[in-house]
Amino acid sequence: MTTVRPVETPAAASAPALPGDVLARLRAIVGPEHVLTGDELSGYADPYSFLENPVRAAAAVQPSSVEQVRAIVLLAGECHVPLWTVSRGRNYAYGGAAPRVAGSVVLDLQRMDRVLEVDDELGYVVVEPGVSFLDLHAHLAALGSRLLISVPDLGWGSVIGNALERGFGYAAHGNHSANICGLEVVLADGTVLATGMGAKPGSPAAPLYRGGYGPSLDELFLQSNLGVVTKMGIWVQPRPDTIVVCHARTAGDAELGPLVDALRPLLLDGTIQSPASVGNATVIASMMSDRATWYTGEGAMPPEAVAEIVSRTGLGWWNAGFALYGPEVITSARLQVVRAALEAIPGVTFDETTYAGDVDPGKVHPADSAKLGIPGTAMVRMAAWRGGEPAHTDFSLVCPNRSVDVLRQRDLIRAGVERHGFDYGGGFTMFPRHTIALALLSFDRSDPAQRQAVRDLFPELIAQASALGYAPYRSHTAFMDLVAEQYDANDNALGRTLATLKDALDPNGTLSPGKQGVWPGRSLAALDA
């Protein structure tokens, strides 16, 4: 039997009261100052919400230890109170710390903020959920560590949260979820599960070997409501002698296809070690200027305004950035190969900056910092692009890393956002075989028409992409059910399997119900009962 059901309509977004003594018992577990209610919950609202009646939490609880997490999880199960787990809850583009189900208690892990292990020799760290990229970078610097972490666009987020949500960064280990090695997870029954080699008492290999014995469970906890991750090992690259940050710029829109097809083989054979991020002039302009500088008319910014950005800033129509790492003799050879491949494309210009030895962060070009493993928060400026009340949300499609698909997705996304009066600021983060196609959508949250346009646009884009065989890898909480419904092959085999796992591991259905469209009580066994 389950008590948690989806909240699909704005009307249901008002929070039901928590059962009797739940707040008192939570306060007894973590201390009264770490249970937040009422006006103290402003940090747990979606700061960029486009909903008319955003979903609200009933309370938030901030444990400081695994034992406290266990106690909270067991209490929630006993009292049938939905929890919504966030590591730091700072991914504002996808909903921040706000829950999927109104009246949830946000289980906020930000106080668990220890860096538990740093190993320069074997290239890994072990962290708790509250550790941000900014924290980790500072911690490593203070230790004098020779590790170079891969950081995403904004450094304030949780290293664990980012990796679990399949976020990515821009150094050699930029595919963060692929570098997870060894989790500690609190399950709904209070079990503290150590995955992989962590299940072997005393093993030094938990953060080293992704296997173990029998099935691997780490990836069960990606974008997941099957447990609460309280510890993670993640692989980190050694800081090399030389880093060459490369930039390729296109004269116009037409060179995007050839650029993609030139970068792919260099990524596939490892000549380029980082992901290649390819952004258009509009998205880069939005990181350093206001829209009004370029355009003040109605509707989406026209091509002439984009051309103006290109001509006045020196940006390309499309701008690719990536990095080469290693001893100087090897980065020089890599650079020679890369330069030859990119300079062969008419309409593409190429340049690079070489950083050797210890890098002075004050002398790093802002566009290069992420490739050097230096986290920042400058990109938050993007949300103010449209003026008014800054807000931002992202649309993220999985795309094969080849021009035919990239161009199809570019056209689909651009047409969609422009139809609704938004500017097409976005691009592609390219990995060897796939790329993530992004529309970075900034809007004025104080404008009801813009909020409505976001609500209209996303379902349209999801449906149009789906018809071509494409789907998002991630979404705002408001669209989680809709995205999950696209993954319905073979009579919804994946959804049915996830429902079976959910009901087996969380029979009371209290862990983050609805996350990624996985709801409790929907397995065949539960429906029969």
By C-beta, is 36 or 93 nearer to a second copy?
93
Told to check if 99 binds a second copy by CB under 8 A, we report no
Pure H helices in 165-302: 256-268, 281-285
Residue 181 CB neighbour total at 10 angstroms: 23
Told to check if 330 binds a second copy by CB under 8 A, we report yes
In whole angstroms, what is the distance from residue 109 CA to residue 171 CA? 26
By C-beta, is 215 or 297 nearer to a second copy?
215
Question: Would you give the end-to-end CA distance of the chain in angstroms?
Answer: 8
Stretch touching a second copy by CB under 8 A, among 16-24, 379-387, 430-438, 439-447: 430-438
Shortest Å, Cβ 143 to a second copy:
18
Q: Is 209 a catalytic residue?
A: no
Told to check if 505 binds a second copy by CB under 8 A, we report yes
**Contact set for a second copy, span 143-172 (CB under 8 A):** 166, 172
By C-beta, is 324 or 391 nearer to a second copy?
324
**Is there a contact between 133 and 442 (Cβ–Cβ < 8 Å)?**
no
Taken as a whole, the chain contains a residue count of 529
Q: Which residues have C-beta within 8 Å of that of residue 468, sequence separation ≥ 6?
A: 408, 412
Give the tokens for residue 335.
């650079």
**Is there a contact between 285 and 309 (Cβ–Cβ < 8 Å)?**
yes
Cα 319 off chain centre by: 21
In whole angstroms, what is the distance from residue 204 CA to residue 372 CA? 29
Told to check if 482 binds a second copy by CB under 8 A, we report no
Binding residues for a second copy, how many (CB under 8 A)? Answer: 108
Told to check if 359 binds a second copy by CB under 8 A, we report no
**Is there a contact between 49 and 102 (Cβ–Cβ < 8 Å)?**
no
Q: Is 170 a catalytic residue?
A: no
Residue choice 38, 202, 297, 362 for contact with a second copy (CB under 8 A): 202
In whole angstroms, what is the distance from residue 100 CA to residue 106 CA? 10
In whole angstroms, what is the distance from residue 119 CA to residue 117 CA? 6
Question: Which residue type, as a one-letter code, is found at position 80?
Answer: H
Shortest Å, Cβ 121 to a second copy:
6
Pairing mode of beta strands 83-86, 105-108: parallel
Shortest Å, Cβ 72 to a second copy:
18
**Contact set for a second copy, span 215-234 (CB under 8 A):** 215-224, 226
Set 94, 124, 325, 470: catalytic member: 94
Radius of gyration of the chain (CA): 23
Helices (H) and strands (E) in the chain, counts: 13, 18
Set 27, 473, 487, 496: catalytic member: 473
**Contact set for a second copy, span 111-140 (CB under 8 A):** 121-124
Give the tokens for residue 367.
């566009």
Residue choice 103, 152, 161, 240 for contact with a second copy (CB under 8 A): 240
Q: Is 295 a catalytic residue?
A: no
Shortest Å, Cβ 450 to a second copy:
27
Residue choice 37, 65, 271, 464 for contact with a second copy (CB under 8 A): 271
Told to check if 245 binds a second copy by CB under 8 A, we report no
Handedness of CA 478, 480, 481, 486 (dihedral sign): positive
By C-beta, is 219 or 389 nearer to a second copy?
219
By C-beta, is 236 or 301 nearer to a second copy?
236
Told to check if 142 binds a second copy by CB under 8 A, we report no
**Is there a contact between 479 and 459 (Cβ–Cβ < 8 Å)?**
yes
Residue choice 38, 144, 214, 297 for contact with a second copy (CB under 8 A): 214
By C-beta, is 207 or 376 nearer to a second copy?
207
**Contact set for a second copy, span 248-267 (CB under 8 A):** 264-265
**Contact set for a second copy, span 441-480 (CB under 8 A):** 466, 468-474
By C-beta, is 156 or 473 nearer to a second copy?
473
Residue 423 CB neighbour total at 10 angstroms: 28
Stretch touching a second copy by CB under 8 A, among 110-118, 249-257, 293-301, 492-500: 492-500
Q: Between 307 and 326, how does the x/- string for binding to a second copy read (CB under 8 A)?
A: ------------------xx
Told to check if 281 binds a second copy by CB under 8 A, we report no
Question: Which residue type, as a one-letter code, is found at position 294?
Answer: W
Question: Which residue type, as a one-letter code, is found at position 262?
Answer: A
In whole angstroms, what is the distance from residue 470 CA to residue 481 CA? 16
Give the tokens for residue 62.
């901030």
Shortest Å, Cβ 35 to a second copy:
27
Residues recognised as catalytic: 94, 473-474
